[in-house]
Homo-oligomer: A and B are copies of this chain.
Amino acid sequence: MKDFELYVPTKVIFGKKALKQIPCELPKLGKKVLWVYGKSSIKKTGLYERLKAILSQAKIEFIELGGVKSNPPLLKVLEGIELARKHEVDFILAVGGGSVIDTAKAIACGYYYKGNIWDFFEKKAYPEKALPIAVVLTISGTGSELNEVSVIVHDTKKIKRSLRSPLLFPKVSFLDPTLTFTVSPEYTAYGAVDAFSHVFEFFVNRKYKKDNLVEDLMVSIMKNIMKWSKIAVKEPTNYEARANLMWASSLALCGILKAGIGAYRFPIHAIEHTLSGGYDIPHGLGLAILMQAWIKRYKNDNIIRKFFAKVFDLSIKKDISDKGVELFENWLKELKVPMSLKEIGVPEEDIDVLVDKAFEIFELYGVEKEYPKERIREILETAYF
């Protein structure tokens, strides 16, 4: 077990009655809020009106920033910072999924920063102060509701970058699984794949690969994501499925599953960011395609065989590589997720550019030697057909 630090100061309020705690919790953060949300869905489902009533009951004045899209653009963050400054808000309320939360986080620390907020994403500067953030989660997957990470897309550069700071942990996250009843089977699947991929990357791409407690926790979470996602895409209002999926997704990236694993990498995410950043496809879809390619390509590696053995309860002593690939693909098929870059219309000739873009990300993190261009190409080519 490797040395680690763990700090997750977010208060989680989980369940069917979670929103009832808003009038008790939010006034602790201030009287005036910038309310960030996405496209039209919260208006369609009635959540918008419901929250409006709750905020007024809690005597919280709100300024709205709607229209945040997936693969959240920097321009929206800048708009939010301006709005937050103009109205001198006390805190930010994110109502949505990962994109909305990540936008809220970037606004929260951008509020106090005099330079260009993109500096944070290019590691040229670090946040020193941030507004408090509260979250009402409406889609499971990214885990942003319980961590300190924000991922934003630069509008003109078409690149996706992440920022990590302990200032960005939400103060409080309201997780009501019934709010995800209206998420389409497609996006339910993408969210589940996203959450799964976080654990998969920890499991596969860590230096310290011995059997231990943390590994078993990872396996429990991966098994549960597989199990409950299959139910949730078929029965959208199955509370158990939605609740287990939501909680598994939050736990997946909150830090507990990397506690003790030592150095780790997120290469599948790095490569994926070139896809969702470049073609505006859902992050979870890009991850599904790349994860499946990774598994196929490295199916005989010890760590992938250990993954097959533990997640699918197979005997590591047998030749389980092909069986493992099949079982993993069966899961994606059941979720009805496309499984190749070709299928989603990425032109084959783009692979060269994608390799270069992904390599740039590895360079940014100083791990380009571990992931030379040939290795990136290998994965993208396996992912193509």
Chain A interface residues (CB < 8 Å from chain B): 1-18, 21, 177, 210, 212-214, 216-217, 219-221, 223-224, 228, 239-240, 243-244, 247-248, 251, 256, 259-260
Per the bound structure, the CA–CA distance linking A1 and B14 in Å amounts to 10
Given known pairs A212-B240, A221-B213, A224-B216, the reply for A247 and B7 (CB within 8 Å) is: no
Interfacial chain B residues near A11, Cβ < 8 Å: 5-7
Per the bound structure, the CA–CA distance linking A14 and B212 in Å amounts to 15
Q: Which residue of B lies closest to A242 (CB)?
A: B1
Give the one of A6, A15, A243 with max B CB within 10 A.
Answer: A6
Q: Which residue of B lies closest to A4 (CB)?
A: B14
Q: Which residue of B lies closest to A212 (CB)?
A: B244
Taking the nearest CB of chain B, how far is it from the CB of A304, in angstroms?
21
CB distance A213 to B247 under 8 Å?
Answer: yes
Interfacial chain B residues near A220, Cβ < 8 Å: 213, 216-217, 219-220
Taking the nearest CB of chain B, how far is it from the CB of A251, in angstroms?
8
CB distance A17 to B3 under 8 Å?
Answer: yes
Q: Which residue of B lies closest to A13 (CB)?
A: B5
CB distance B243 to A1 under 8 Å?
Answer: yes
CB-defined A-B contacts under 8 Å, sample of 19: A1-B15, A1-B239, A1-B244, A3-B14, A4-B12, A5-B13, A5-B14, A6-B12, A7-B10, A12-B259, A212-B243, A212-B244, A213-B221, A213-B244, A213-B247, A216-B220, A247-B259, A251-B256, A256-B256
Q: Which residue of B lies closest to A219 (CB)?
A: B220
CB distance A14 to B259 under 8 Å?
Answer: yes
CB distance B210 to A240 under 8 Å?
Answer: yes
Per the bound structure, the CA–CA distance linking A239 and B260 in Å amounts to 13
Given A2-B15, A213-B244, 8 other A-B contacts at CB below 8 A? A4-B12, A5-B12, A9-B9, A212-B224, A212-B244, A213-B228, A216-B224, A247-B259
Per the bound structure, the CA–CA distance linking A8 and B219 in Å amounts to 23
Interfacial chain B residues near A260, Cβ < 8 Å: 14, 243, 247
Per the bound structure, the CA–CA distance linking A212 and B225 in Å amounts to 11
CB distance B1 to A18 under 8 Å?
Answer: no
Per the bound structure, the CA–CA distance linking A327 and B240 in Å amounts to 32
Give the one of A13, A16, A210, A217 with max B CB within 10 A.
Answer: A217
Interfacial chain B residues near A228, Cβ < 8 Å: 213
Per the bound structure, the CA–CA distance linking A214 and B210 in Å amounts to 23
Give the one of A3, A248, A256 with max B CB within 10 A.
Answer: A3
Taking the nearest CB of chain B, how far is it from the CB of A24, in angstroms?
11
Taking the nearest CB of chain B, how far is it from the CB of A203, in angstroms?
14
Q: Which residue of B lies closest to A225 (CB)?
A: B213
Sorted from nearest, which 6 A-B pairs have the closest CB atoms? Answer: A3-B15, A1-B243, A216-B220, A7-B11, A213-B224, A6-B12
CB distance B2 to A6 under 8 Å?
Answer: no
Interfacial chain B residues near A244, Cβ < 8 Å: 1, 212-213
Give the one of A1, A12, A239, A260 with max B CB within 10 A.
Answer: A1
Q: Which residue of B lies closest to A213 (CB)?
A: B224
Give the one of A17, A177, A221, A224 with max B CB within 10 A.
Answer: A224
Per the bound structure, the CA–CA distance linking A219 and B177 in Å amounts to 24
